Amino acid sequence: MVQQYQKHGNRWPTLMTPVVVNLGSALSILLLCLHLMLFLRSNKNRNLHHKNMASLCVALIFSYIIIIVDTTWVKSKFCYLYVLATFYSNMASAFWMLTIAFTIWKKVHSTMTKIANQNQMCSTFFLHSLRNWILPAVINAILFFFLPFFSEDSDIDNDFAFEKFNQTECRFQQSDDMVKFVIVFYGLIFVVNVYFFSSSVRYIISTKMAVKKNKCDENEDDLAEQFQLYRKLSLVMGLTWMLEMIMSVREGYDVLDSTFKILNSLEGCFIAVAFTSSKEAIHFLKSFVVVK
């Protein structure tokens, strides 16, 4: 290892990044799977917020599996499909994060005494699922299939066409259209998240005096807990999106690129730790070991 360090010198952090990213992704998958198993076992954590969070976990697991199977064999056999799956999983994660932000914002601004019935929650979650799983697929289909097909007979230069795909490096060539798409897509979601977050904060601060005067009920306790967790989640995913937008504009920054990849691989760990009850996790693991 010392010889390898002397040989590669300053490139050592860059060479170690894939190892750290794969380890972080594997750990995230394990912890997210634990969170999903506890979610399925629990009868009390079946509200809309927990369902949205479980769906975000599924999208992130899909993303981490794609990162781990990033091998030469996979890229040589399924290179184009691999890139499409990467685009889809990243979009799905972003849409589910946006849905969580909207759900918290809507709950904060709704009347605390009104509780939605179970049928309304199920129908709302069903609509969220349709939008967040199908819309990324529709966007991918438009970008990579319909637009290239309709631009074949015209003079329009489509940067998402298969001819622009670099089969050797297994990625699309960096272009202005590609950069604009990444910045607009993640920038728009980032701005909307900031709006939902700031609006929720403003409402919570404005109602804190009323909460102090009156006894805080169970609904507000639950809302405060959900918002605190959402605040931490927004910070981590917001930093990741900002780094991704910066990296799409500026290439060649090894430190930023490594930071983005490592932070992205550890998002799942944060979600599992922040949103999973430690007591339930320990009890589940103990029961699992006893059964074994």
Q: List the one residue out of 273, 262, 238 whose CA is nearest residue 100.
A: 238
Could you tell me how far CA 142 lies from the centroid of its own chain?
22
- pLDDT surpassing 90 at residue 58: yes
Predicted structure pTM score: 0.75
Between CA 183 and CA 241 the distance in angstroms is: 9
- pLDDT surpassing 60 at residue 139: yes
Total number of residues shown for the chain: 292
Mean pLDDT across 170-184: 65
Q: Which of 45 and 140 is assigned the larger pLDDT?
A: 140
Mean pLDDT across 79-104: 84
End-to-end CA distance of the chain: give it in Å, rounded: 39
The number of domains in the chain is: 1
Q: CA of 163: how far to CAs of 67, 177, 216, in Å?
A: 24, 15, 61
Question: Does residue 28 contact residue 79 with C-beta atoms inside 8 Å?
Answer: no
The CB density around residue 292, as the number of other CB atoms within 10 Å, is 5
Average pLDDT over the chain, rounded to whole?
A: 70
Between CA 8 and CA 153 the distance in angstroms is: 49
In tens, the pLDDT along 181-194 reads 777 777 788 788 77
- pLDDT surpassing 70 at residue 32: yes
Q: Which range marks the domain in which residue 48 is found?
A: 2-291
CATH (domain of 45): 1.20.1070.10
pLDDT above 70 covers a percentage of the chain that reads: 50
Q: Which of 97 and 153 is assigned the larger pLDDT?
A: 97
Mean pLDDT across 62-81: 76
Confidence of residue 249 (pLDDT cuts 50, 70, 90): low
